[in-house]
């Protein structure tokens, strides 16, 4: 067994209704907590229980609700300014992946004083952060357990800050906060979590490790068994909690064994055409799987029964094809768009998407098969 490292959050609190236990974390967060979210989550009434619990623990709160999807740098700077003015002693992020990513950077920047431009990339952070607790309201990104924050820079490009300093002190998984998610959001974020697990399992990273692979398989088992229930019967609390757990396990997996070409090709789709991240992943997933199958078919065969138990007794070739084609049909069953043209992407925009994807070197280096510019163009063409 090769040498590896594995890092994750120190504390996980999970279970329906566990948002009330935030009061137990005020000792960690301190007396002045900046709460970061977005207008949609606030209007859905999901933040109020968190505020009430923090208040019950004796903390004052200040609420920042300016987060938007694919947050630009300006949002980060505005939240940092509010944190400093408030004198925040800790940060709570509650919402989807964008809110959690913003919370990570705010907790870092308002304490370390580093410039955001200086910390893009892997291992560039040198300072420390404020105490940080993250509460996901979607089962997808796994951001509550990852050391990664994604920011939109300029008009289209996305950059990542990757550092163990961004790992929060605690993650709170309360399925009651996900009950109001629309079916399309539930479906897209669930597939996003599946992609995390698959890419973590097959990552070419030197830190691909047995812990991440074990978590990835359990994540796929949970997600595969519950995603259609959660989408079709959104009030099923058990399915919702299982999805949250699966997304978190996938997050722990890829936080240590990083994702690859699916994400590299999905980022430009989201950045240039404002397609939600989970849906962007879903649109390119089966085509990247087919591209990679020539070098990691054994891995797909091993993963297949996690999603499709009936493939346990199948032969190698049947497992591989069943895995890929099952995932290709999943968005159809979940009523998601399946073609790039279905989300308004013109065919003449594909070469520019491919050029943008090739800039995602942080991700492409982890792909089990080398992706060239012509490869990226072909994958987009097939997906179109």
Q: Quote the percentage of the chain above a pLDDT of 70.
A: 100
**pLDDT classification of 15: cutoffs 50, 70, 90:** very high
| pLDDT on residue 1 | 65
pLDDT digits (tens, 9 = 90+) for 96-113: 999 999 999 999 999 999
Residue 154: pLDDT above 90?
Answer: no
What average pLDDT is seen over the chain? Answer: 96
Backbone angles phi, psi at 13, to 5 degrees: -115, 120
Look at residue 156 and tell me whether its pLDDT is greater than 90. Answer: no
Average pLDDT over residues 253-266: 97
Beta strands in the chain (DSSP E): 11-14, 32-36, 60-64, 90-95, 121-122, 132-136, 148-153, 157-162, 170-173
Domains in the chain and their CATH numbers?
A: 11-177 (3.40.50.1970), 181-383 (1.20.1090.10)
pLDDT at 2: 83
Reduce the DSSP state of residue 19 to 3 states and report it: helix
pLDDT at position 223 over 80: yes
116 close to 73: Cβ distance less than 8 angstroms: yes
What pLDDT does residue 155 have?
75
Cα distances (angstroms) measured from residue 338 to each of 171, 248, 328, 333: 32, 25, 8, 11
Cα-based distances in Å from 218 to 7, 95, 173, 198, 301: 18, 24, 17, 11, 15
58 contacts: CB under 8 Å, gap ≥ 6: 26, 31
Reported as a single tens digit per residue, the pLDDT across 54-65 is: 999 999 999 999
> What pLDDT does 224 receive?
98
Confidence of residue 7 (pLDDT cuts 50, 70, 90): very high
| Mean pLDDT, rounded, for 135-156 | 93
Q: Which of 108, 199, 210 is nearest to 161 (CA)?
A: 108
* CA distance linking residue 82 with residue 36, whole number of Å: 10
Residue pair 26/54 in contact (Cβ under 8 Å)? The answer is yes
**CA–CA gap between residue 326 and residue 304 (Å, rounded):** 9
Q: What is the mean pLDDT of residues 153-162?
A: 85
Residue 260 has pLDDT above 90, yes or no: yes
Per DSSP, 180 falls in state T
Question: 198 pLDDT exceeds 90?
Answer: yes
Sign of CA dihedral 84, 87, 91, 97: negative
For residues 176 and 11, what is the distance between their CA atoms, to the nearest angstrom? 20
Mean pLDDT of 1-6: 88
pLDDT of 273 above 70 = yes
Share of the chain above pLDDT 90, in %: 96
In this prediction, residues 217-221 reach a mean pLDDT of 98
Dist. CA 30–CA 276, nearest whole Å: 34
Nearest C-alpha neighbor of 137 from the set 105, 175, 183, 184: 175
Crossing angle (nearest 10°) for helices 316-333 and 183-202: 150
In this predicted structure, the answer to whether residue 271 has a pLDDT above a threshold of 70 is: yes
């Amino acid at each position: 067994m090769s040498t590896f490292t594995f890092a994750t959050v120190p504390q996980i609190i999970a279970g329906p209704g566990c948002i009330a236990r935030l009061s137990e974390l005020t000792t960690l967060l301190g007396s002045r907590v900046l709460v970061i979210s977005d207008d949609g989550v606030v209007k859905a009434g999901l933040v109020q229980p968190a505020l009430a619990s923090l208040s019950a623990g004796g903390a004052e709160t200040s609420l920042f609700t300016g987060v938007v999807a694919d947050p630009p740098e300006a949002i980060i700077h505005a939240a940092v300014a509010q944190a400093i003015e408030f004198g925040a002693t800790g940060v709570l992020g509650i919402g989807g992946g964008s809110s959690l990513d913003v919370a990570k950077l705010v907790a870092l920047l308002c304490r370390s004083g580093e410039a955001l431009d200086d910390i893009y990339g892997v291992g560039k952070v040198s300072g420390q952060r404020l105490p940080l607790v993250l509460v996901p309201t979607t089962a997808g990104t796994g951001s509550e357990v990852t050391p990664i924050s994604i920011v939109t820079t300029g008009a289209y490009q996305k950059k990542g800050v990757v550092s163990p300093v961004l790992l929060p002190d605690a993650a709170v998984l309360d399925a009651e906060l996900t009950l109001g998610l629309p079916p399309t959001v539930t479906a897209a974020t669930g597939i996003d979590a599946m992609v995390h697990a698959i890419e973590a399992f097959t990552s070419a990273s030197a830190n691909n490790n047995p812990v991440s692979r074990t978590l990835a398989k359990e994540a796929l088992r949970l997600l595969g068994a519950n995603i259609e229930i959660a989408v079709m019967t959104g009030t099923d609390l058990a399915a919702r909690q299982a999805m949250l757990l699966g997304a978190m396990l996938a997050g722990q997996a890829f936080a240590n064994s990083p994702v690859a070409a699916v994400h590299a090709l999905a980022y430009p789709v989201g950045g240039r055409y404002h397609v939600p991240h989970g849906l962007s992943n879903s649109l390119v997933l089966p085509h990247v799987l087919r591209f990679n199958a020539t070098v990691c078919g054994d891995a797909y065969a091993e993963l297949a029964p996690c999603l499709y138990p009936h493939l346990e007794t199948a032969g190698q070739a049947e497992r591989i094809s069943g895995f890929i084609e099952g995932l290709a049909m999943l968005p159809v069953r979940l009523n998601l768009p399946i073609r790039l043209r279905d989300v308004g992407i013109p065919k003449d925009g594909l070469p520019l998407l491919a050029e943008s994807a090739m800039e995602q070197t942080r991700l492409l280096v982890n792909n089990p098969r080398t992706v060239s510019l012509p490869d990226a163009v072909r994958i987009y063409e097939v997906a179109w």
